Structure 1
């Protein structure tokens, strides 16, 4: 494989996996396990022929491309070390990209140069209801073909370990587990220190979740809630929990693109209320400004499926921003709302980053909408360009965000997955040798370019 100087595209993922299978035909297989809404094949690369099944899901979020490169890196490392497959009686099943359609929509920044401005101006992430890991209406009512393909794969493999590969655009690395893996926080800390990756000690989306150790959090069981809670807390049924019935341990592994040192500052802040007031006021002002820009341009946009696809996440973000701003504001008490837990400096840093992230994603999607329309008839593009530049400068200069090379992101994420594999394997039951799911009912198919 070529050095990982950049993220691979959807086509490159498939081509590199096919080349790997050609080099290792006895130990590696590639098969189609479904198709996306646009008709792109979902490819599963499997390494080893053991009875214990591990499932790695790359690319569940369209703007988080590190997972595909990590999947290829894991395949290479496992093939190079028989202890990881033959010696462990294990098969590694690597789903190369769960949302290939979304990844294609990020190709405007995917190949670099990697700057914050380029990333957010070319950013795409679908609306909440089009993200394939979520099951807002339960598994039996899953609509997206990508979701159904993953659910079928989970039911077929019954993996002892599932790793969902995610990326943090600005912040630090952390992991979320459905089951405790004793020793995992220490392993993650060691990997992060060796590679110079900041650990995120207070992610805003785990604010109310149990902590299993520094930068490691316990995913609570899913619960019914409104869309705002689902977007901000992953508080719905998901493919993370679907294989729980098989005793599967799910690990969500987050690797950062731009690292921020402050997210691992676990000290007690001098005046958290003042920081919270600033963060909530800033988010409130930014969201109102963006809502006004959207109102100016919405009726000028063409009535197309592409417009709807880009507007869905804009509407999602603008929906949740006011509620988040109120939840962070120490001067606002909302009936029935949960009080904030004790906050460290790391928590405050990630809240500031999260608020800015929501504003920048919204501005970036609006920029794509206006740039792709028939001229900027509402005249909002100069203001959007100014806002994106100012807010990216704040990330770089105010938060100290620094780019982490792709190869280092991938090495970090792959090592964390291997650590989870080692620890989960200790407690994994051995299924009957005759089962070997996936290699009778569905044969491998030839690879081709989409």
Structure 2
């Protein structure tokens, strides 16, 4: 099977998996484990017949398509190396895409050429309550069929390892774990260095989370909180923690699309407070611009599910922006009950700058689609939206130094991290901690990955 030089679509994922099964019918199976809200099958590709189950979930976020290509690459690697299934008594269960409906809405930019402006103008990610990994009201209250399918799969397989495959649009690679896997940070560092992938040493997502090693973070246990906290901290109940009762190690593996070198600069900043003021003030200014444009546009929007689907994430983003700006601003007193900022590195400050701009660009891109999808611009907001989208994308490229990472390299990096997590979790959950005792090395059959 030729390597993927671009992101696969929903239909291509299914077709490639079916072709793999046709060529390897004894070692692979493809079964439908659920159906999306729009009626698209949720396909599970299984490789091997071992008693220990590994679960890899691609496409939990609609705008992060790298995972689909990664699971296809993993299937090929596992088939090529019996030590990864027979030798490990393992079965690899690869969910091709958890949110196929959302991925279809991103297909306008999946084929490339890949440019920041095109990506954000065609970007789609549903509102927080429609993202299938989250359980904000607990597993018993789940209504999304995609979420129910994943929970049922976790309960059926009781995997020793679950990997959730994510993509960072702008920034660097990092990993989030529910259990420590000693040695993973070193493996992430080696893979990132060989492939030219910046590691994110202070991600916005993990600002308040324990660090297990450079670019590896511990996911806190779920806790009840308001919607704004859930959106920004992602520490609500989730499918990451649902299989915890089975001893499952969950690894959330983030691979960047556009890399930024500054996110791996762990040095102390020269003037932290000045940068924080600039980032927070910029976010407030951008939010005011977007709120004004939305106020002009909203009265002209048609009623119906399409506009509501695009407005839901817009409202989510605008909900959290003022609170984030206050949290980051050194001149705003820390409100009672919130976390003070930890000691920040240059990498942290770069990540916060990227995060604030990301919220603005995503909001502007969704507003752009609301206008262009209607075929006319009764509020007259499109020219201004175009200018802001161009200006903010230029800042990513010229101000942050964002550079495109080819799809094949994104996939190679994410695959290597998953294979490393598999080996370490296999040893850990088998009670075998002595290096090399498992008898196989994830890089042995992949020349690029030899350490």
Bucket of the pairwise TM-score, normalised by the shorter protein: over 0.9
Identify the residue that residue 97 of structure 2 maps to in structure 1: 97
After TM superposition, the score normalised by the length of structure 2 is 0.95
The answer as to whether partners of 2:219 and 2:235 remain within 8 angstroms in 1 is: no
Identify the residue that residue 368 of structure 2 maps to in structure 1: 367
Identify the residue that residue 359 of structure 2 maps to in structure 1: 358
Separation in structure 1 between the aligned mates of residue 108 and residue 97 of structure 2, nearest angstrom:
18
Following superposition, the deviation at residue 335 of structure 1 comes to 2.7
* 1:7-22 to 2 correspondences below 5 Å: 7-22=7-22
Following superposition, the deviation at residue 427 of structure 1 comes to 2.3
Following superposition, the deviation at residue 7 of structure 1 comes to 0.2
Q: Deviation string for 1:130-183 (max 9, x for gaps)?
A: 000000000011110000000000000000000000000000000000000010
Following superposition, the deviation at residue 3 of structure 1 comes to 2.5
Separation in structure 1 between the aligned mates of residue 188 and residue 229 of structure 2, nearest angstrom:
28
Separation in structure 1 between the aligned mates of residue 16 and residue 153 of structure 2, nearest angstrom:
22
Separation in structure 2 between the aligned mates of residue 13 and residue 374 of structure 1, nearest angstrom:
31
Q: How many residues align?
A: 430
Identify the residue that residue 299 of structure 1 maps to in structure 2: 299
Following superposition, the deviation at residue 317 of structure 1 comes to 0.1
Following superposition, the deviation at residue 4 of structure 1 comes to 1.5
Separation in structure 2 between the aligned mates of residue 338 and residue 51 of structure 1, nearest angstrom:
44
- SS of the equivalent of 1:239 reads coil
Matched, 1:114 2:110: no
- SS of the equivalent of 2:401 reads coil
Identify the residue that residue 397 of structure 1 maps to in structure 2: 398
Separation in structure 2 between the aligned mates of residue 2 and residue 357 of structure 1, nearest angstrom:
33
Q: Deviation string for 1:104-152 (max 9, x for gaps)?
A: 0001111101000000000000000000000000001111000000000
Following superposition, the deviation at residue 205 of structure 1 comes to 1.2
Matched, 1:200 2:196: no
- SS of the equivalent of 1:37 reads coil
- SS of the equivalent of 2:287 reads helix
Deviates more, 1:39-48 or 1:368-377: 368-377
Identify the residue that residue 156 of structure 1 maps to in structure 2: 156
Higher relative contact order (CA 8 A, sep 6+): 1
Identify the residue that residue 349 of structure 2 maps to in structure 1: 348
Following superposition, the deviation at residue 287 of structure 1 comes to 0.6
Identify the residue that residue 59 of structure 1 maps to in structure 2: 59
Separation in structure 2 between the aligned mates of residue 307 and residue 352 of structure 1, nearest angstrom:
29
Identify the residue that residue 421 of structure 2 maps to in structure 1: 420
Question: What is the root-mean-square deviation in Å for CA atoms of aligned residues?
Answer: 0.7
Following superposition, the deviation at residue 34 of structure 1 comes to 0.1
Following superposition, the deviation at residue 337 of structure 1 comes to 2.0
Matched, 1:383 2:384: yes
- SS of the equivalent of 2:53 reads strand
Gaps of 5+ in 1: 431-450
Following superposition, the deviation at residue 275 of structure 1 comes to 0.2
- SS of the equivalent of 2:192 reads helix
Following superposition, the deviation at residue 374 of structure 1 comes to 4.2
Gaps of 5+ in 2: 432-451
